[in-house]
């Protein structure tokens, strides 16, 4: 996409995300929902509030849910809400999918009775921040989070699988998860291959970051000292693309 609304800088330091553009038909469908102002405009796929400077509309979680319920945002789309922007997540390749499936099976078996494992499911941070990590281990809850959305305070561990998204996962996601005090954050780098473990969040950053490569192991504090073998967790060797 070439128009000037295609990408948006998010985070500190800023990282470029691709904004999810809207079509004219989708914009028209927003009218009956009354989630944007009557004076709102669509410019280059971006909804603006028409305040005179063409600033993009700041989407809230409630509006994000309403757009999904109305079918404007599809269930199949790889998108998330960051700083009031609806942004696209990088596509899933063969190796990415393999690692996510392996982590899901491995963690699901280990923590069947002690935690709740979710894949590519949203975490509600606040009204304008709803990231969608590749995998999250949640504290057990009787109704399995049917009565309310899961938030960062429920997460024991979050994992992002990085193929083309390593910069995003390092520079944009890590500070968010640290500020939310998520105890442990894994970046699973399929290109290295390696598992980058972020732990001990203090003052909005992880103070203990270590990289473990193939055939190495480590103990996860968030998983009660469980010995994690990188080959088993990632399902090495990885398939070719």
DSSP-based helix, strand, coil % in the chain, nearest 5:
25, 30, 45
Domain count within the chain: 2
pLDDT for res 52: 62
Of 73, 88, 103, the domain-final residue? 88
With respect to residue 240, please indicate whether it lies within any of the assigned structural domains: no
d(CA 133, CA 158): 7
Q: Are residues 210 and 109 in the same domain?
A: yes
Domain that holds residue 49: 7-88
How confident is residue 3, by pLDDT bands cut at 50, 70 and 90? very low
Residues 160-169: pLDDT tens digits?
Answer: 999 999 999 9
- CA 214/CA 206 separation, integer angstroms: 23
- Position 239 in a domain: no
Q: Are residues 140 and 58 in the same domain?
A: no
Pick the range with the lowest mean pLDDT from 119-123, 140-144, 154-158, 176-180: 140-144
pLDDT at 111: 66
Tell me the average pLDDT of the chain.
Answer: 92
Q: CA–CA distance from 124 to each of 31, 57, 116 (Å)?
A: 26, 19, 16
Q: Are residues 48 and 116 in the same domain?
A: no
**pLDDT at 95 (0 to 100):** 96
Same domain, 67 and 99: no
Domain C-terminal end among 31, 62, 88: 88
Q: What is the pLDDT of residues 21-76, one digit of tens each?
A: 999 999 999 999 999 888 899 988 999 987 666 789 999 999 999 999 999 999 99
- Please check whether residue 101 lies inside any domain of the structure: yes
Burial bucket for residue 31 (CB in 10 Å: 0-12, 13-18, 19+) = exposed
């Amino acid at each position: 996409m070439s128009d000037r609304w295609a990408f948006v800088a998010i985070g500190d330091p800023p990282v470029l995300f691709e904004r999810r553009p809207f079509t004219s038909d989708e914009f028209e469908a927003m009218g009956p929902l009354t989630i944007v102002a009557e004076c709102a405009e669509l410019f280059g796929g971006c909804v603006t509030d028409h305040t005179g400077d063409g600033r993009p509309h700041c989407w809230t979680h409630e509006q994000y849910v309403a757009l999904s319920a109305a079918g404007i945002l599809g269930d199949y789309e790889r998108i998330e809400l960051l700083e009031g922007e609806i942004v696209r997540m990088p596509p899933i390749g063969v190796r990415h999918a393999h690692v996510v499936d392996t982590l899901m099976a491995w963690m699901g078996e280990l923590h069947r009775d002690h935690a709740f494992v979710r894949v590519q499911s949203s975490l509600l941070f606040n009204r304008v921040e709803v990231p969608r990590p590749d995998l999250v281990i949640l504290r057990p809850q009787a109704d399995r989070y049917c009565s309310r959305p899961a938030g960062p305070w429920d997460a024991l561990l979050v994992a992002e699988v990085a193929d083309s998204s390593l910069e995003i996962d390092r520079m944009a996601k890590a500070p968010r998860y640290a500020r939310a005090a998520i105890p442990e954050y894994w970046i699973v780098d399929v290109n290295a291959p390696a598992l980058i473990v972020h732990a001990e969040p203090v003052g909005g950053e992880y103070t203990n970051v270590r990289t473990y490569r193939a055939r190495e192991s480590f103990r996860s504090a968030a998983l009660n000292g469980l010995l994690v073998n990188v080959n088993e967790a990632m399902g090495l060797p990885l398939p070719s693309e």
